[in-house]
Amino acid sequence: MKNVGILIIAMFSATIIGCDDGKVPLGGKVTYSDDGTPLETGTVGFTTDDYNARGPIQKDGSFVVSSEKPGDGLPPGTYRVHISGAERQIGISPDGVAIMEPLIDRKFISPHTSGLTLEVTPETKDYSIQVDRYVPRKR
């Protein structure tokens, strides 16, 4: 009976030790390309054909990537990167809806137009992103 207990403990320990899911912890910072100031809001998204993860942007421009649990990072691979939710309120419509304006060039909103990619390897630790400011069109 004692041997069975030792076997169960050994199997449990091997399972815990072997639970490395291969994800690489990853963080970074988002700044404006014109002056290096941080983007203070939004979410950085990382996308493949079958995987998505994100990192909320903090006031200092920093982010930490989470997929299944906070800060767990990304599996190795190539990711398309985009930024969502980087907006500020510029008014309120007559029916009480917030009128929002982007803080960054609209191309960064989609993973297909941002031009941002990241190759994640076990050595990848951080990913700095520079974005262009939104410039309203002249009417």
**pLDDT tens, position by position, for the chain (139 residues)?**
555 444 344 444 333 333 458 899 999 999 999 999 999 999 999 999 999 999 999 999 999 999 999 999 999 999 999 999 999 999 999 999 999 999 999 999 999 999 999 999 999 989 999 999 999 887 6
Contact indicator for 44, 129 with CB cutoff of 8 Å:
yes
Domain positions in the chain: 22-131
Which phi and psi angles does 71 have, rounded to 5°?
75, 15
Strands 27-32 and 126-131 come out as parallel
CATH number of 22-131: 2.60.40.10
Q: Residue 85 is encoded by which pair of tokens?
A: 């939710």
**Which residue, 128, 44, 123, is CA-closest to 86?**
44
